[in-house]
Amino acid sequence: MVNEDGPIVGIDLGTTNSVVAAVIDGQAQVLGEEGEKLLPSVVALDQQGRLITGIVARNQLAAFPDRTIASIKRRMGSMEKVSLGDQAFTPPEISAMILRRLRDRASRALGQPVARAVITVPAFFDEHQRQATIEAGELAGLKVERFINEPTAATLVYHAGSHDRKQILVYDFGGGTFDVSIVRMERGVIEVLSSKGDTHLGGDDLDRLLLDYVADKFQEEHTLDLRENTSTRYRLLQACEQAKIHLSTEESVQLTEEFIAEKDGQPLNLVMTVTRAEFEELIAPLVERTISSVDEAVRDAALTIHQLDDLVLVGGSTRIPLVEKRLREEFLREPSRAVDPDLAVALGAAVQAAMIDGQSIGPVLVDITGHTLGIEVFEGFSFSGPKLAFSPIIHRNSPLPARYEDAYRTLHDEQERVEIHVLQGEHAEVERNRSIGKFLLDLETGGGDRSKIIVRFDLSLDGTLSVTATQPATGASKELTIKNALSQFQAEERDHAQARLGSLFESSAELLEDEELAANHHWAREDAAHGNASRNAKFPAAYALLEQAQRVRASVSGEDAEEIQTLVEQLKQALDAEDQATVTRLSEELDDILFYVQ
C-alpha cells in the first residue's frame, strides 16, 4: 500500500555515522548504497569546490581539514558557524547536506521520492537542538514527522510486538553522544521512565585521549608536538581511532605512521605500541562517568538494578571490552546484542515511521521530555535586591505530549502587567537555567481574584512548547509558541540558506537532481497539486509573513497582538483554500500592522 504523501523513512542522524532505514514488507531494513549501510556524517568540498559527503569526505579529512566538516551534531542548537572552503555555514545547513544524501539513498532504494522522515535524537537534546534538526530536515527537503529518542528507537527494534511487561535499560555510547534510558514496555506501550545523558561524550573523546597520550610520548622522544600542525593532528586522530577499534579485539596494537613530521630537514616516523591495559587506564574515568549516569537513570526511574529485565547496547563504542565488562559487573547480566549496535537506532526509527504511516507494527511509544521547563518567579528580597527563583511546570522525564499548569499571584493589587519568562533547566537559581522565551501579559488591577494568574505549558511530541498565561478573573490571556522563538533562522535567512544549499547540491555529482527525484511518480504530482510543500512554493511570501507575524506577536501585547492573531488565522484559512485574491489582501494588511508594530 502506498501512502499518498509518499513513504516515511527512519533516520539516525549520528555524530559519526548516519543511517536511513524503512519498513519494507513488514521488515525494518537499512537502505544502503553500493553495499554501504553507514554514511559517515562528514561533508566536504572537493578540489573543484563540489559538495561531497560520506566516505569520500571522511577520507579527505586529514588532507584538507579546511574543506571538511565532521561531528557537526555536537554543534546543533548553537549559533556558531563553521567554515567550509571560503563560506561559513550554520550547523543545520551542514546537517542538511548529510540528510539530503540520505534522502537520495532512500529515494533510490525505494524507487520513489522520499520527503518525510522520523529522525532520532539523543534523549538529552534540548528544544534548541531539536529545532535545529527540524531546520536541517527542511533544508534537505524532508519534513520531520516526529523525533524519537535514540534509546527508545533501539527498544522498538528489540521488543516491537512484545506484550509482556519488561523494564529495559538502553545504554547508547556512540561517536559523539552518550545516552542512557530506562524504558518500560507493557501491553504494547513503550514508556521512557527516565533518561540521562551527555551530548558531549562519545567515541571521539576516546580518540582524543589516545591522541594526547601518543602525542605526549612522541614529544618526549622527539621534542616535537604532532598536534600543532592541523593536518598532522587529523592524520594522527584517524590512526588513533583505528588503533582504538583494534584494541576491542586485540591485546595490543602498533601505531605506524611514516613521515608523520619533519625535524631539522629529517623525516620522522611514528612507531608506537599501545596495549589494551594502557588504553583502558586512559578511558576509565569516562567509562565511569557513563556508569554514574546509568545509576542516576535507574534511581530517577524509581527502580533497582534487579528490577531490570534487559540491557540493550547501542552505538559503536559499546564494542569496547571495558565498557561491556563494567556493565556486566554493574548489572550482573549479559547485554543483548542481537541487532548490530550501529544500525539498531535507524531500524527502530523505521519501525516508528511505519507506525505513523498506519502500518501496524510493534508497540505504541510514549516519549518523555529530557529537561524541566518552568518560569521565573519572585521569591522575596535579599541584600542584593529582588530574589528570583525557577518554578518548574513540566518536570524532566514527563511523558509527551505534556500539559501542566500552575497558579501564581501578582506581587501587589495594582500590578498592571506580568512578565512570563520561560526557562529550561534543572537549577533553582534562574541564571543557571537556559532562557527560552518571554512575554508580557496585561492585567486588570484591583486585587482579590484578579491577582491570580494561571500559566499553562503544552509540550508537543515534536518539542514545540506553547505557554499560555491567563488572568482567570477577567479572561485576559496571552500565548507564546517557543518553536519560533528557538529558530536559528529568520525567514529571509532560511530562503537564503535554501538557495545557497540548492546551488551546492546542484554542483554535487553524488546527489539526485530534484526533478530526477520526483520524475514519473504519482504521489509527487499529487503533492504538487495539494501538498504543503507546493503551497509553500506557491505562496512563499505569505508563508514567510506568517512566520514573521508569529514571532512579532510573541513580543507584543493587547490589541496589537489580537489584531495580528486574527489576521494570521484568516490568512491561514485563505492559504488552505488557495484563495489568491484574499491571500494578497490579507498579506498586505498583515504586513502593514507588522510594520506599524515593529
Q: Minimum CB separation from ligand AMP for residue 483, in Å?
A: 28
Residue closer to ligand AMP by CB (options 241, 357) is 241
Number of neighbours of residue 311 by Cβ within 10 angstroms = 21
> Which one, 245 or 476, has the nearer CB to ligand AMP?
245
Q: How far is the CB of 105 from ligand AMP (least distance, A)?
A: 16
The least distance separating ligand AMP from the CB of residue 235, rounded to whole angstroms, comes to: 16
Instruction: Fill in the DSSP letter of residue 72.
Output: G
Q: Are 131 and 121 in contact (CB under 8 A)?
A: no
Query: Can you state the angle between helices 203-222 and 230-247, rounded to 10 degrees?
Result: 120
* Pairing verdict, β 27-30 and 17-24: antiparallel
Q: Which residues bind ligand AMP (CB under 6 A)?
A: 14-17, 174-175, 203-204, 241, 244-245, 248, 315-317, 319-320, 342
Q: CA geometry: angle at 90 spanning 5 and 79, to 5°?
A: 115
- Closest CB 78 distance from ligand AMP, rounded Å: 20
Pick the closer one to ligand AMP by CB: 243 or 402.
Answer: 243
Nearer to ligand AMP by Cβ, of 39 and 512: the residue is 39
- What is the signed CA dihedral for 8, 10, 15, 17, rounded to 10 degrees? -110
Cα 24 to Cα 93, 137, 324, 350, 359: the distances in Å are: 30, 23, 33, 9, 11
Residue 249 Cβ vs ligand AMP, minimum distance, rounded to whole Å = 7
Nearer to ligand AMP, 245 or 440 (CB): 245
Output the smallest distance, CB 147 to ligand AMP, in A: 17
What are residue 504's phi and psi, to 5 degrees?
-65, -45
479, 456 contact by CB (below 8 A)? no
* Residue 25 CB partners (closer than 8 Å, separation 6+): none
Task: Compute and round to an integer the Cα radius of gyration of the chain.
Answer: 26
Cell (9 digits) for 63: 588532507
Measure the CA–CA gap between 105 and 103, rounded to whole angstroms.
5
Closer by beta carbon to ligand AMP, 40 or else 463: 40
Minimum separation from the CB atom of position 243 to ligand AMP (A): 10
Nearer to ligand AMP, 261 or 323 (CB): 323
The nearer residue to ligand AMP, 244 or 494, going by C-beta atoms, is 244
In the complex, what is the shortest distance from the CB of residue 51 to ligand AMP, in angstroms, rounded to a whole number?
A: 22
CB of 153 to ligand AMP, least distance (A): 12
Nearer to ligand AMP among residue 276 and residue 483 (C-beta): 276
DSSP 386-411: EEEEEEEEE-TTPEESEEEEEEEE-S
In whole angstroms, what is the distance from residue 132 CA to residue 72 CA? Answer: 11
Q: Which of 489, 516, 486 is nearest to 500 (CA)?
A: 489
